[in-house]
Amino acid sequence: MPVHAQRPKVRLFVADDLAAGVSAAPREEQAHYLTHVMRLATGGEVALFNGRDGEWRASVEREGKRISLRVEAPLRPQEPAPDLWLLFAPIKRTRIDLVAEKATELGVAVLQPVLSERTDVDR
């Protein structure tokens, strides 16, 4: 894709596999969003992603009252999830369960407590 090419303003998640020439069917609420909220007409551009195949440019096609999205070209490849490790020094009155909860929410794969010169653990 040339650097000067503009990305579509609308980005949408679909569960379908994405490849050039494939037609993806948006869910009912997604179709409403595209046609009534974003007011995309036939030929309007959308960026589609599914978390597996990367991000793809697609265009809106109408079939009566229904719409479909014709996948055209890749915009960017799917990046692998980072391998995040959290090394932390336990300190006074730290709630390790809260650290574990928030780290998990952020996608941390490994939690590793470490002792340092300044670590002062009281139970």
Note the pTM of the prediction, 2 decimals: 0.63
Helix (H) or strand (E) holding 70: strand 66-76
* Domains and their CATH numbers in the chain: 11-76 (2.40.240.20), 81-123 (no CATH)
How far is CA 114 from each of CA 51, 80, 86, rounded to the nearest angstrom? 34, 28, 10
- Angle made by CA atoms 89, 94, 97, in degrees to the nearest 5: 95
Over its C-alpha atoms, the chain yields an Rg (Å, rounded) of 22
At 35-72, the pLDDT tens digits run: 999 999 999 999 999 989 999 999 999 988 899 999 99
Distance CA 71, CA 84 (A): 33
72-93 pLDDT, tens digit per residue, is 999 999 888 788 999 988 876 6
